Structure formats: C-alpha cells, structure tokens
Amino acid sequence: MLQNSTDPADGRFDTEPDMATKCIVKCSSCQTPAIDDTLFATLLRIADDPTAKCKCGGTRTISLAFDFGLGATDKVSDIEAVFHPRPLESWQDKDGSKVTFFPFLVVLKRTGRHSAIWMPYWHIVESEDGKKKQKYGQWAPYMDASLFESMLQQARQAGFLTDTGS
C-alpha cells in the first residue's frame, strides 16, 4: 500500500505535465474532499483501498474528464473500480535504474449506458540514488466494456488468457 516504502508507487514523484485527463473528486458530505497529488496516486489509492472514505467520513465520488477528439462523447465518467496487476512487472534499465510497468484497468460508470473501461499506464523509474519518476504512457485505450469483453472472450475461446501466465 501507500505506506510501504518498498512499493514503487510510494513517495513523491516528478509528474509529467500536459495530462489530458482530469480528475474530479466530490464528497457526499463536505465541500473540500482530500485530493491526491496526481492521477496516478488517485488510481492507485482506489485500487488498493476501494472503500476509502473522505477524511470527513463521507462517500467520495471520483470522476474523470477526458479530452476526446473526433466528436466522441462521454467526456466525464465516474470511476467504479480500479485494478492493477499483482505483482507488478519490473526490470533493470541500462543505467541501473529500476523500471516498473504500472498499468491500470479502470471501470467507468456512465449514465444511461453500459460501463466503459480505460487503460492508462505509467512507468515508475527509480534511479540508483532512490529518486522516483512517474512517466505517463500516452494513448490509453478507452472503450465500451462490451468491446473489451468481446476481445477478452475471443482470446479465451482461442485458448489464451485462461489462467495466469498464459
């Protein structure tokens, strides 16, 4: 979790500017809900503690506002659930820094429509002096959950992704 100092997501990061997706936090009972530093921190917190309440004890609703082009609608959606791989995948870069691939599966609730999924990812780069940087991967896919399920179902029918490691 966030308190664990061995967690690659722990601590403060240099954040990439120009993130096109904005996070909107609302609370059922106060006007000033606590807001995480970054979108990454927000998603990680929801993934690791889905029932986390606002500091005041109220229920938080976290929405994402997307900057879609090409006339696509549903620019604001509430986050329903967030998942990341457990364990995460890490490797050593040429300069000795440790790189951790940090993808998220975000399930989004939409009014009057089926859920959507959004899959952003980051690379957490930890240099040998312990400094961490989060690098945001661009072009995260966003699609109807039914489209995602269709692909997953086809892959499973073809014998892939039927259990861990395949």
Positions touching Zn ion (CB under 5 A) are: 27, 30, 33, 54, 56, 58
Tokens of 135: 């690098």
Give least dist CB 112 to Zn ion, A. 27
Nearer to Zn ion, 8 or 33 (CB): 33
Give least dist CB 26 to Zn ion, A. 9
Alpha carbons 153 and 144: distance in angstroms, whole number: 14
Nearer to Zn ion, 35 or 147 (CB): 35
What single-letter amino acid sits at 65?
Answer: A
Give least dist CB 78 to Zn ion, A. 16
Nearer to Zn ion, 42 or 100 (CB): 42
